[in-house]
């Protein structure tokens, strides 16, 4: 009993959930960061397909924006070179800014959509952007 309680407490503390579903990276376009939008079968009964796919698509959009090579990233590079990269001590890179947005988005999605369904999305950054994990918590405990 004590063990059970203990493990439950740990569960709550560490927010580890009963099962985890992993959405893998989609490498069909090379090493650009995007995740597979196919709906994991394990989530079929937990969440509407549409919502999930939309989440993943939005994430993919964010990552595409982060990796975009455009004027802003070029200027950032030049500035960094000019300052012997000391600028990185003061300023966030473009990528980091987008990552923050992503993290906020994931949290938002968790609050609004996933937590009410007993799911929890984790930021892929924690796992090296290899996978998006969504933990399921069974209602039964």
103 binds other proteins, rule: CB under 8 A: yes
25 binds other proteins, rule: CB under 8 A: yes
By CB under 8 A, name the one of 58, 60, 64, 133 that touches other proteins.
Answer: 133
17 binds other proteins, rule: CB under 8 A: yes
Phi-psi map region of 24: left, alpha, beta (phi>0 left; psi -120 to 50 alpha): beta
Question: Among the residues of the chain, which ranges form H helices?
Answer: 2-14, 49-66, 71-82, 87-90, 94-109
Q: DSSP letter for 1, please.
A: -
Q: Give me the least distance between CB of 113 and other proteins, in Å please.
A: 9
Record the tokens describing residue 56, joined without a space.
């993943």
By CB under 8 A, name the one of 6, 38, 57, 101 that touches other proteins.
Answer: 38
By CB under 8 A, name the one of 54, 60, 95, 105 that touches other proteins.
Answer: 95
89 binds other proteins, rule: CB under 8 A: no
Residues contacting residue 32 through CB under 8 Å, at least 6 positions apart: 63, 64, 67
Q: Give me the least distance between CB of 4 and other proteins, in Å please.
A: 18
8 binds other proteins, rule: CB under 8 A: no
């Amino acid at each position: 009993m004590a063990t059970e309680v203990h493990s439950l407490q740990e569960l709550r503390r560490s927010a580890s959930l009963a099962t985890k579903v992993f959405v893998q990276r989609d490498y069909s376009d090379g090493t650009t960061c995007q995740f597979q939008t196919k709906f994991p079968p394990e989530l079929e009964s937990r969440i509407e397909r549409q919502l999930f796919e939309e989440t993943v698509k939005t994430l993919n959009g964010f990552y595409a924006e982060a990796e975009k090579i455009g004027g802003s990233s070029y200027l950032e590079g030049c500035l960094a070179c000019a300052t012997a990269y000391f600028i990185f001590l003061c300023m966030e890179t473009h990528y980091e800014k987008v990552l923050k947005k992503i993290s906020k988005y994931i949290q938002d999605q968790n609050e609004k959509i996933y937590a009410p369904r007993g799911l929890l999305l984790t930021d892929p950054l924690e796992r090296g952007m290899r996978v998006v994990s969504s933990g399921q918590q069974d209602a039964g405990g």
